[in-house]
Structure 1
Amino acid sequence: MALKLVILFLLSLAFFTLTIDASNSTVASGGKLKEIIGVQGVIYCKTGTKQFPIEGAKGRVTCLVVDENGYESVITVISNKTDKNGYFLAKLYPSALEELEFKGILTGCKAYLNSSPLRKCRVPTDIKKGMSGAPLLLPRILPEDNIHLYSVGPFVYTSEPDFHHGY
């Protein structure tokens, strides 16, 4: 239910722009999603010379949708909290799109950092495009689970902003 509400809310926001990967084979002719899109990754905290996985962080996957009139909107899925190893998995299900009466072509998706539960490690970095968006490329196809699994990252939060790179 919460996933449905998040998707409904974000569908109403039509001002996001994303890079596209139109070669995504998980979309059938007519733009209908036929397989589950899964995105996995790991989220770390880097403070000084130490790096460790963050338990309880979240990743985000945002996909661009273009309707038959050329209007753009987005679908965003927030992952479950990372485990003790910093691992997250976000899934976009075809059934969720059908429930929303999805009309349009899913033209591309990117993965991002979403949140960190650590007060002392909440500054996102763009390592592996955690802030600017990691494109989903070359999925591992798991036919027994009907999923196209993409891997991104590892993404990194830090304790201090890096002003040398414009953040």
Structure 2
Amino acid sequence: MGFPAKGFLLLQLAVLLVSCFTVFGQDFQPSPSPSEHHDHGHYHDHTPHPSHPHVHPQAPSPAPHHHGRHHHDHPPAHPPAHTPAHPPFHIPIPIPHPPKYPPVPRSFVAVQGVVYCKPCKYAGVDTLLGATPVLGATVKLECYNTKYPLVQTAKTDKNGYFFITAPKSITSFGAHKCKASLVSSPDAKCNIPTNLHYGLDGSYLRPEKPFVSHDKLPFFLYTVGPFAFAPKCPR
């Protein structure tokens, strides 16, 4: 066989070999890399689809935990089963005390008041409307600080005013045991004593103010009444 014939035969063999490699290359698929295998031995194609990309759902994030007060839209269905370890602390409110005054010095007792005569228009009514002062009416002061009552009397002036000083054995410390009341009226037309302001039963003394007498003695002035006599009215 000559050289041209051998060359043509070699060319055909080369073409045949190239064709065989091409066919074998198309049938051969490379084995997946170890990184594409899962732990369970299943093969999954991770190539994203051009129209529907595969999206893995994200795990829900844990709810934030607040260390302070929790906000609820609705009150809890059940109250807490435990009581607080310490009861709430309340600041005690101070109790006010009455003011303290310096002690009042012991004083002698003087009593004042006024005596009136009521008109027939208001006879039997506890009022002094239309009343006029009584001149010379007698008023007494009785103090029960001793076994036997101590009595002092005084007469009214033209304004119906009277002023009585208690015995010197009676001081302001014992004035609460004294009473003043009506004794008599010099007016025959108005001499019926009434119990207005306890003129019959005896009126306790109402403290007014301290004063110093003309002889420099300390006194405390008290007030009673006003008292009243009623007239003899025609029926």
Fold shared per TM-score above 0.5: yes
1:44 and 2:85 equivalent? Answer: no
Instruction: Report how far residue 47 of structure 1 moved.
Output: 2.1
- Aligned counterparts of 1:106 and 1:65: Cα–Cα separation in 2: 9
What is the aligned length?
Answer: 117
- Aligned counterparts of 1:157 and 1:60: Cα–Cα separation in 2: 15
Q: Look up the match of 2:197.
A: 128
- Aligned counterparts of 1:106 and 1:134: Cα–Cα separation in 2: 12
Q: What is the TM-score when the length of structure 1 is the normalising length? A: 0.62
1:90 and 2:164 equivalent? Answer: yes
Amino acid in the other structure paired with 2:231: S
Mark the CA change 1:106 to 1:154 in structure 2 (over 3 Å): closer, same or farther. closer
Structure 1 residue runs of 4 or more that deviate by more than 4 Å after TM superposition: none
The two structures, once aligned, show a CA RMSD in angstroms of 2.6
1:147 and 2:227 equivalent? Answer: no
- Aligned counterparts of 2:157 and 2:225: Cα–Cα separation in 1: 16
Q: What is the TM-score when the length of structure 2 is the normalising length? A: 0.45
Which structure has the bigger radius of gyration? 2
- Aligned counterparts of 2:176 and 2:224: Cα–Cα separation in 1: 18
Mark the CA change 1:106 to 1:90 in structure 2 (over 3 Å): closer, same or farther. closer
Q: Look up the match of 1:156.
A: 228
Instruction: Report how far residue 73 of structure 1 moved.
Output: 1.4
Determine which of 153, 163, 170 is the counterpart of 1:78: 153
Instruction: Report how far residue 90 of structure 1 moved.
Output: 0.6
Amino acid in the other structure paired with 1:153: G
Instruction: Report how far residue 160 of structure 1 moved.
Output: 3.8
Question: 8 Å contact 2:141–2:178 — kept in the other structure?
Answer: yes
Q: Which sections of structure 1, spanning at least 5 residues, go unmatched?
A: 1-24, 29-33, 67-71, 99-104, 162-167
Instruction: Report how far residue 60 of structure 1 moved.
Output: 0.7
Q: Secondary structure at the match of 1:73?
A: coil
| Structure having greater relative contact order (Cα 8 Å, sep ≥ 6) | 1
1:115 and 2:115 equivalent? Answer: no
Deviations 1:14-52 (A, max 9, x none): xxxxxxxxxxx98x8xxxxx5221110000001223310
Deviations 1:70-112 (A, max 9, x none): xx31000001x21110000010141xx49xxxxxx77600010
